Amino acid sequence: MTASTLIRAARKSRKLTQQQLAERARIDQSRVSRSERGRETEFATVERLLAGAGHRLYSAPTRRDDAATVSAEVRRLLGAGERDAALRALVQLNDNLVAEHGLVRGVLGVAEPESTRDPIWDAAIAGLVAWRLREDGLPAPDWVNDPSRYLKTLAGLDVDPADPVPPLSEVPAEFAERGVLVWRDTFASV
């Protein structure tokens, strides 16, 4: 996860504005903005901003991207109209989660991702994290069960219009609960 993604995720998880975080961290709002845009940010500033949001920085023995980082990439890809690439990023998150176990798997899902700006994809990311954490006997972070991560009507990811809609028996329960119709074998290792 990049420092900018980490700071933004921490701030949003506490529902703070940049100005409120700046006041808590006792720095000016423009530094918060620069830090969230990925400008060179000193470690001390990152630590201070995280503390202002009530977070701490920990190190995990992995080089795999977490849900917040993948969500930002999915948002970028969807904005560019690259739905196939967005699906590949979602599958990569699955592979990242499956490759890790225990606490490290949990770390990959703990930071609340920003919205992809598409409720179906937001629900899919939450469903994937919930599925893989539950599979390892880990508790799901609160953001996974936020009402905004559930759809009111069933919907697919709409990557390829020629893809048939899967029956609920072929959809992982955590996706179905959130209203996302995606084939279980989409996430099978090959």
- Look at residue 1 in the predicted model and tell me its pLDDT: 60
Q: What is the pLDDT of residues 127-136, one digit of tens each?
A: 999 999 999 9
Predicted TM-score of the model (pTM): 0.80
Mean pLDDT, range 62-88, rounded to an integer: 96
Listed by start position, the domains of the chain span 3-52, 67-187
**156 vs 15, which has greater pLDDT?**
156
- State the maximum Cα–Cα separation within the chain, in Å, rounded to a whole number: 54
Could you confirm whether domain 3-52 is CATH 3.50.50.60?
Answer: no
Q: Summarize pLDDT for 73-85 with one digit per residue, the tens.
A: 999 999 999 999 9
C-beta contacts of 35-43 below 8 A and 24+ residues apart: 35/3, 35/4, 35/7, 36/4, 36/7, 36/8, 36/11, 37/4, 38/2, 38/3, 38/4, 39/4, 41/3, 41/4, 41/7
Per-residue pLDDT band for 116 (boundaries 50, 70, 90) equals very high
Q: For residue 137, is it left (φ>0), alpha (ψ between -120 and 50) or beta?
A: left
Q: Which pLDDT band, with edges at 50, 70 and 90, does 152 fall under? A: very high
Task: Supply the pLDDT for residue 76.
Answer: 96
User: pLDDT tens digits for 21-58?
Assistant: 999 999 999 999 999 988 777 888 888 898 898 888 77
Q: How far apart are CA 142 and CA 72, in angstroms?
A: 19
Tell me what the pLDDT averaged over the chain comes to. 92
